[in-house]
Amino acid sequence: MSEDLSSKYVLQTAGFDARFPNTNQTRHCFQNYTDYFKCIAAKGEDFAPCKQFKRAYNSLCPNEWISRFDEQRENGTFPASLEP
């Protein structure tokens, strides 16, 4: 049974980013979230490099933060510009 699950899922974390060398990854989380939405606004959701930003923010950000960011985007109160 465990072999079936391990062949289906590959666990990955965000790679090293020289812009964020410290152990506190809060800014790294926020930057990847904004970069993802800027990327899909510019290139579309099917653009493969955009998916790296999504994988990174899903790995770095707590789920509660992602939910809050999504709500803020929908309400127009997100604290950063998501224009490309």
Is the sign of the CA dihedral 39, 41, 47, 51 positive or negative? positive
Q: Domain 25-75, what fold?
A: Arc Repressor Mutant, subunit A (1.10.10)
Confidence (pLDDT) at 8: 72
Give the separation between CA 35 and CA 39, rounded to whole angstroms: 6
Q: What is the CA radius of gyration of the chain?
A: 15
Tell me the whole-structure pTM to 2 decimals: 0.75
| Identity of the residue numbered 8 | K
Q: What is the pLDDT of residues 34-80, one digit of tens each?
A: 999 999 999 998 899 999 999 999 999 999 999 999 999 999 999 99
